[in-house]
Amino acid sequence: MLCNDCGKNEATIHSINYINGEKSELHVCAECAKNHPELNFGFNSFGFNALEPTDLIKKFFGLGNDSLIGQIANEIHCKTCNSTLSDFNKTGLFGCPDCYDTFAEEIIPVLQKTQPAVSHKGNVPVNKEQDPEDKEKDEKLQSLQEKLKKMISEEKYEEAAKIRDEIKAMKGE
């Protein structure tokens, strides 16, 4: 097939578009394709520029150091990691978990625009409510179980039996 535009070269780029069920076709050579910005074939000329989450946040904050928020809040430092909001504006990253307390007022309006809601819904850490005593017990149990494996692998069956009893007792079996 010859190029639709120049009619001389072989058409190497074929564009088929469906808009509301209507088909539109374009067959051109590589040279003439340059005059058709809508032809986005080939990955490098794709101009693929998805709005990444980080960009989204940056956009709402205003890019770079000069953003308004950066200037106003320049004095505030996170007590734990010493980060400021202008550090955040540069990298898009907070310095430590406590930054979310320090900068809560600044971050909440941004999250309101970018997330479904600013209140966590979903899993919570399993050990969050765990009693320290239980935790100690879990750790002890785990180390006993490791010891048990070791004894079995070393064929020290008598010692293994003792450990097994200890584990049973701890589990209240």
Partner 1 sequence: MAQWLKDNSSDSDIVISTRARIARNVSGIPFPHKIRNTDKEELVKRPAIQKFCSNGSDFILKEMKDLSQNERNALVEQHVISRDLVGRDDGAVITSPDGSISIMLMEEDHYRIQYLTGGFNPEEAYQVAGNVEKMLGSSVSYAYNDRFGYLTACPTNLGTGLRIGVMMHLKGHVLSNNIKDLQSGLGRLGLTIRGAYGEGSTPIADCYQISNQVTLGISEQEIVQNIRQFVGRLINQERDVRNILYKNNKLELEDSVYRAYGILKNAKKMSSDEANRYLSTLSFGVSLGIMKPCRETDIYRLMIETMPATLRREAETAIERDIRRAEIIQKVID
Contact residues for partner 1, defined by CB under 8 A: 14-18, 23, 38, 40, 43-44, 46, 48, 50-54, 56-57, 80-81, 83, 91-97, 100-101, 104, 107, 110-111, 114-128, 138, 146, 149-150, 153
3-state secondary structure 90-158: HHCCCCCCCHHHHCHHHHHHHHHHHCCCCCCCCCCCCCCCCCHHHHHHHHHHHHHHHHHHHHHHCCCHH
Q: Which of Zn ion, partner 1, none lies near 120, with the C-beta cut-off 5 to 8 A by kind?
A: partner 1
Identify which of 89, 82, 84 has the alpha carbon closest to the alpha carbon of residue 68. Answer: 89
Q: Which of partner 1, Zn ion, none lies near 56, with the C-beta cut-off 5 to 8 A by kind?
A: partner 1
Provide the 3-class DSSP secondary structure of residue 23: strand
Stretch that binds Zn ion, among 29-37, 64-72, 136-144, 160-168 (CB under 5 A): 29-37
Stretch that binds Zn ion, among 57-65, 72-80, 137-145, 159-167 (CB under 5 A): 72-80
CB of 113 to partner 1, least distance (A): 11
φ, ψ for residue 172 (rounded to 5)? 70, 30
